[in-house]
C-alpha cells in the first residue's frame, strides 16, 4: 500500500475522484481485537492500524472519513481505529478470570460501542469455563443493540471433535498481529453438537423463572440469542 504511488507512476495523474475511490476500496474488512484493562481503565489492541492511514497524506485524509478512533473510557481517550460498517469487534477471553464482570459491562465501561455490527467472542471449553462466564457472555452479547450475529471463535488449528477445543490464553508474541476468522474444518456433526451445547448452556444459565399473581404460577422463558456462528481463528504477524 505504501508503495502504490512509487510503483504506479501515473497514479498521481489520475483524476482526484478516481484516486479517492481507489483509496476507499482499499479499506477492507478487519478483525479488531479489543481488550479492556480494568486496572488502568483503558482499552488495548494488538491489531495493527489500517495500512491506508500510512500510505500518503491523501490516503490518510480519505481513511479518516471511514475509520474513527474508538473505544475510549472515562479516563482515556479513544486510540483504536475502527469502522463499524466494515470491522469485526473481537473481545477475547482474558486468561486469568475469563469473561468476568468487566467483560459483562464492556459497553458501559467503554465508549462508542453502540454502532458495532459485527461481534466476535471466544468459545470457552466447558472443562475450564468458570461459573460466571456463560451468563456474562450472554449479557455482553445483548448489550450491543445493532449486532445481529455473533462469531464464536475457536482457537487456531484446533478441532471441535470431542469438544476438545483449547482455550485461548492470549499471550502476545508480536506487537501487532493480523487476525482472520474462517469457517472451521473437521467433523461437521461434532461442530453442530458443539454449537448446540453452547446454546443449551446459554438457555440454562440465562433463563428466567417468572411468578404470576397470587396463584404463584411459574413458567420458564428461554433467552433470545442472536445467531451464533462458529469460526476458527488464524493469526499472522504484522
Predicted pLDDT at 68 = 94
CA dist 202 and 196 (Å) reads 10
Domain of residue 107 covers 4-237
Q: Dihedrals φ, ψ of 217, to 5°?
A: -70, 125
Which pTM value belongs to this model?
Answer: 0.82
Positions in the chain short of pLDDT 70? 1-25, 156-175, 208-222, 237-238
Sign of torsion over alpha carbons 221, 194, 98, 156: negative
CA dist 55 and 50 (Å) reads 10
Q: Cβ(53)–Cβ(60) under 8 Å?
A: yes
Domain count within the chain:
1
Predicted pLDDT at 225 = 86
Amino acid at each position: 500500500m505504501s508503495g502504490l504511488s512509487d510503483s504506479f507512476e501515473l497514479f498521481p495523474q489520475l483524476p482526484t475522484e478516481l484516486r479517492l475511490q481507489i483509496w476507499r476500496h482499499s479499506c477492507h474488512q478487519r478483525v479488531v481485537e479489543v481488550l479492556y484493562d480494568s486496572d488502568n481503565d483503558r482499552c488495548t489492541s494488538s491489531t495493527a492500524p489500517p495500512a491506508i492511514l500510512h500510505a500518503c497524506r491523501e490516503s490518510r485524509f480519505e481513511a479518516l472519513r471511514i475509520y474513527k478512533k474508538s473505544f475510549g473510557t472515562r479516563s482515556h481517550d479513544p486510540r483504536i481505529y475502527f469502522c463499524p460498517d466494515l470491522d469485526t469487534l473481537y473481545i477475547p477471553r482474558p486468561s486469568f478470570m475469563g469473561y468476568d464482570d468487566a467483560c459483562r459491562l464492556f459497553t458501559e465501561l467503554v465508549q462508542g460501542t453502540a454502532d458495532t455490527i459485527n461481534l466476535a467472542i471466544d468459545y470457552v471449553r466447558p472443562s475450564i469455563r468458570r461459573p460466571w462466564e456463560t451468563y456474562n457472555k450472554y449479557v455482553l452479547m445483548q448489550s450491543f443493540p445493532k449486532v445481529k450475529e455473533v462469531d464464536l471463535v475457536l482457537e487456531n488449528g484446533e478441532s471441535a471433535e470431542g469438544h476438545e477445543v483449547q482455550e485461548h490464553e492470549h499471550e502476545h508474541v508480536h506487537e501487532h498481529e493480523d487476525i482472520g476468522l474462517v469457517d472451521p474444518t473437521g467433523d461437521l456433526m461434532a461442530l453442530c453438537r458443539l454449537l448446540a451445547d453452547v446454546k443449551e448452556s446459554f438457555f440454562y444459565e440465562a433463563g428466567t423463572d417468572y411468578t404470576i399473581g397470587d396463584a404463584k404460577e411459574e413458567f420458564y422463558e428461554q433467552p433470545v440469542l442472536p445467531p451464533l456462528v462458529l469460526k476458527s481463528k488464524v493469526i499472522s504477524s504484522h
